Amino acid sequence: MDKVLIFDTTLRDGEQSPGFSLTSDQKIEFAHQLARLNVDVIEAGFPAASPDDFAAVQRIAREVKGRIITGLARAVPEDVDILWDAVKVAENPRIHTFISTSDIHLEKQFRLTREQAKEQAIAMVARAKGYCSDVEFSPMDATRSDWDYLYEVIEAVIQAGATTINIADTVGYVMPDEFGELISGVWGRVTSADKATISVHCHDDLGLATANSLAAIKAGARQVEGCVNGIGERAGNASLEEVVMALNVRRDFFSRYETGVNAREIWPTSEMLASFTGQGVQPNKAIVGRNAFAHESGIHQDGVLKDKITYEIMKPDDVGRPETRLIMGKHSGRHALRVELAKLGFAVGSYDLLDAFRRFKDVADTKKEVFEEDLRAIMQDVAGASIGNGQAREAAPVGAPDQRDRLTP
């Protein structure tokens, strides 16, 4: 099996997302949770950005054991020096530095020629190597760079001592097949590629960050950078929980690859981040969204009540979540209603199911979700009607086939 390293940048790139900043104490607590999640690398911040960020990175480096601890530094001497001062107390420190390689960035932002950028990258990797054996270099905006020049820079920085090369899709521009070709090209065009770990850092501007990360793994990348809940600049980074669970669930397709992530800590980590930032994930977010293991459609509810594998490709417990939820609404079927009423103590056969279902639908048509108190009120009405006509209709047992359920979309 090939190990895919998981590099968490929630505390750096994730925190750069507007509205997602954390206090120093929250960063420390979250870093300890990342250790429980068992990510391989924690990018704890951008130490040169502020004294507070420096202090948080340094404290994480000192306290969090068993992980590689790094931060980010521009390819300038001051940043590299400050980063080393912050992480040198770690058990396993890494220096991560970057500069752009795309002509768009070099011409319009940095005002550098290609040769100047390459020389700066070489110099700062060499400077970092003087401090630390573990050095990561990122060519920013790599996917919009001239590939020949990109490979030339990668070759040069590996020769200067870089041990990880992180190919950054900084603006979420590349397509999965295209990215796979770019990563494969590293092995064909960079003669010293086997001396470094190839990493990827994908953004989600076109909604392809996870897909691109997985394509890169297939093409030879062995480190994936991303954020919990997919947070990050603009539309966010690759969602680490999506990458990890794609590798776990589709072992038939990714049979050669594994991570060391403790997947049952995914949900607690997601919940902690949402609590600290005050920013919840979208309800239909893969893996950690409120609706990821919830079912309202009658045909889906009928299926999961018979066997969850019908509509769930993983178990909630696989990622540390509570059980599957049946959401009672206007699309729900009789099977789910029988089950939910049984949970409330209404025995099967003690009420008129057709009457209860009709009254349930009347309520559901006026509400987004029918809750426990609504169901109790419905059953009070059903009981009153049964007393009025002096009879109760027998219902099918819980779990029995129900044609109506199969026809309810």
Domain ranges of the chain: 2-277, 295-409
- What confidence tier does 403 reach under pLDDT thresholds 50, 70, 90? very low
Q: What is the mean predicted confidence (pLDDT) over 281-289?
A: 96
Find out whether 33 and 42 touch, Cβ atoms under 8 Å: no
* pLDDT (0 to 100) of residue 385: 61
Going edge to edge, which strands form the sheet with 68-70? 72-74, 95-100, 135-140, 164-169, 197-202, 223-226, 5-8, 41-43, 68-70, 92-93
- What confidence tier does 263 reach under pLDDT thresholds 50, 70, 90? very high
Percentage of the chain modeled with pLDDT above 70: 94
* pLDDT (0 to 100) of residue 392: 41
Q: What is the mean predicted confidence (pLDDT) over 136-164?
A: 98
Distance, CA of 4 to CA of 199 (rounded, Å):
9
**Number of H-type helices and E-type strands within the chain:** 15, 14
Higher pLDDT, 226 or 368: 226
Tens-digit pLDDT profile for residues 167-188: 999 999 999 999 999 999 999 9
Residue 148, pLDDT above cutoff 50: yes
| Residue in the structure block whose two tokens are 């999961």 | 304
Closest CA to 9 of 173, 205, 185, 243: 243
- What confidence tier does 405 reach under pLDDT thresholds 50, 70, 90? very low
Residue 391, pLDDT above cutoff 70: no
Count the alpha carbons within 13 Å of 380 in the hemisphere toward its beta carbon: 6
Percentage of the chain modeled with pLDDT above 90: 90
CATH of domain 2-277: 3.20.20.70
pTM exceeding 0.75? yes
Tens-digit pLDDT profile for residues 293-306: 999 999 999 999 99
* pLDDT (0 to 100) of residue 301: 92
* pLDDT (0 to 100) of residue 49: 94
* pLDDT (0 to 100) of residue 393: 43
| Residue in the structure block whose two tokens are 């992530």 | 261
Distance, CA of 226 to CA of 240 (rounded, Å):
5
Residue 161, pLDDT above cutoff 90: yes
Among 23-37, 100-114, 249-263, 347-361, whose mean pLDDT is lowest?
Answer: 347-361
